[in-house]
Amino acid sequence: MHTYSPTIDVPLVDSNGTIIGYSEKMHVHREGLLHLAFSLMIIRQRPTGVEYLLQRRAEHKYHSGGLWTNTCCSHPLMNESINDAAQRRVNDELGIVTPLVFKNVAKILYYLPLDRGLVEHEYNHVLVAMVDDVEWSANVDEVMSVQWWSSQQIVRQLSAHPNTFTAWFPEVFRHVSEVTIESMS
């Protein structure tokens, strides 16, 4: 399993998402530099509705430790496509080796102050992958726990306890929840 070293360079982008250079990951987050990212949500259809596979970030992560978020999020490496990065990171974080089919449902730009004096200033590709089911084995260096959530559970938790989620999650969830299962086929 590839572990995500904080010394990795991430792609810097302009406001259109065009790569303009690379810089060290921690520097980018300390300075709030606009960089390329993706947020992946794995979903499945159940008789009661759509379920979303969420992860709770490991407590010791460099930011947002212990918070719930979408299935996987990260940055592509140099010369790596968004889809290849998503497949690599979902394997690194959750041990999911099943090849996934990604649908890019949105591109969002945000500037979000985080804990530890860091900032997420991202041009974020929101990806969805639909599965019948999927097996995972959480990497304890990355993830505390993994769980399927119904949209009702997410909405209730976002309303009652929004601080249990990462800063970017509400916007990602909004875009993902607008996706219909039919559009994924």
Q: Say whether 142 counts as a known binding-site residue.
A: no
Signed CA dihedral, 160, 163, 168, 169: sign only: negative
Q: Say whether 120 counts as a known binding-site residue.
A: yes
Residues belonging to the active site: 73, 122
How far is it, in rounded angstroms, from Cα 121 to Cα 36? Answer: 9
Tokens of 166: 């990462």
First to last CA, the chain: 30
Q: Say whether 178 counts as a known binding-site residue.
A: no
**3 state SS for 126-139:** EEEEECCCCCCCCC
Q: Say whether 24 counts as a known binding-site residue.
A: no
Cβ within 8 Å of residue 180, ≥6 positions away? none
DSSP designation for 17: -
Q: Say whether 29 counts as a known binding-site residue.
A: yes
How far is it, in rounded angstroms, from Cα 23 to Cα 12? Answer: 7
Annotated binding residues for Mg(2+): 93
Annotated binding residues: 29, 35, 75, 93, 120, 122
